[in-house]
Amino acid sequence: MTRNKFKLLLIGVVIFMSGCATQYSTNVTFPSPDQLFITTGDGDIQKPYTPVGQIFYYKKGPRIGLPLLGLIRFDDVDPAYEISTNVARQARAMGGNAIINLRVVWEPPSNGFLGIAANGGRIVIYGTVISM
């Protein structure tokens, strides 16, 4: 391999390995005061805000773990529904209008084997309720 071809190959490898990364950032826009703001981080939230307290929510979906009966869904856990209704209601009852650093641990519902060992799922949600 000639020296010029080697240099050209080396430059190509360096360019290929460096990539074209860009940084993207934006300011957080908050919803109207009657809506609850929920984020998994604390982002660019400008102080002053007042921490109201910690929120903790747990739910286990019921299922009968018997053959065929375990396939019947009673009240399976749905993360979007639990956050938008129960967690939001609890945060507003605490006097907050935002939840920051929200964490969700979710085990989805399963049918087991023909209903044996079926479960409706489990969810744990926690975060910090604040008032802006």
Q: For position 103, what pLDDT does the model report?
A: 94
111 vs 58, higher pLDDT: 58
What are the chain's domains?
28-131 (3.30.110.70)
The pLDDT, as a whole number, for residue 87 is: 93
pLDDT at 21 over 60: no
Residue 125 in this model has a pLDDT that exceeds 90: yes
Long-range Cβ pairs for the range 78-86 (8 Å, 24+):
79/104, 79/106, 79/123, 79/125, 82/57, 82/123, 82/125, 83/38, 83/125, 86/57, 86/59
- Segment 24-57, tens digit of pLDDT: 555 656 677 678 888 888 766 777 788 899 999 9
* Residue type at 11 in one-letter notation: I
pLDDT at 93 over 90: yes
CA 85 – CA 109 distance, rounded (Å): 19
Per-residue model confidence (pLDDT) at position 55: 94
Task: Give me the pLDDT at residue 65, please.
Answer: 74
